[in-house]
Amino acid sequence: MYNTDFVCTYKEHDEEEDQDDMYRIQLLQVYNLDRWDDDVINNTKASIFNKYKDNLDMKEILNKARDSDKLSNIKLCIADDDLTIFTGLFQYELFNLIHLCICDLEKSSNISALNKSNILNNL
């Protein structure tokens, strides 16, 4: 289960090393895990993706992400299908932003204009 009550703060830390460590910790916390579990994480991401893949805001985010250089390695090395692009949004640079979008969708079935703008501007 994806934790929508969780607040991402990893980028608010001063030291880059602290930010990296907190990103890893918070990525686990959002999945309610103490240690990495590929099955839980991949199944949860797939479930979220399947639930919102037809949402117009999510489609816009995925289309912009597909054209983004920030996901170029993922597209080159893995694939460029929508689920893979969605998974790429959980990387360090974008995790806090996609998390807010998912929280919006879970709470109201819409992504707020601010959160949508923030992620689109960072792609």
> How does pLDDT run across 80-112, given as a tens digit for each residue?
899 999 999 999 999 999 999 999 999 999 999
Domain that holds residue 73: 38-121
Domain assignment of residue 7, yes or no = no
pLDDT at 79: 78
Domain assignment of residue 27, yes or no = no
Domain assignment of residue 79, yes or no = yes
Domain count of the chain? 1
Domain assignment of residue 9, yes or no = no
Domain assignment of residue 2, yes or no = no
Report how far residue 121's alpha carbon sits from residue 99's, in angstroms, rounded to the nearest whole number.
Answer: 15
Flag residues of the chain having pLDDT under 70.
none
Report how far residue 32's alpha carbon sits from residue 67's, in angstroms, rounded to the nearest whole number.
Answer: 31
Domain assignment of residue 30, yes or no = no
pLDDT at 71: 87
Domain assignment of residue 63, yes or no = yes
pLDDT at 78: 77
pLDDT at 18: 85
Q: Whole-model pTM?
A: 0.91
pLDDT at 80: 85
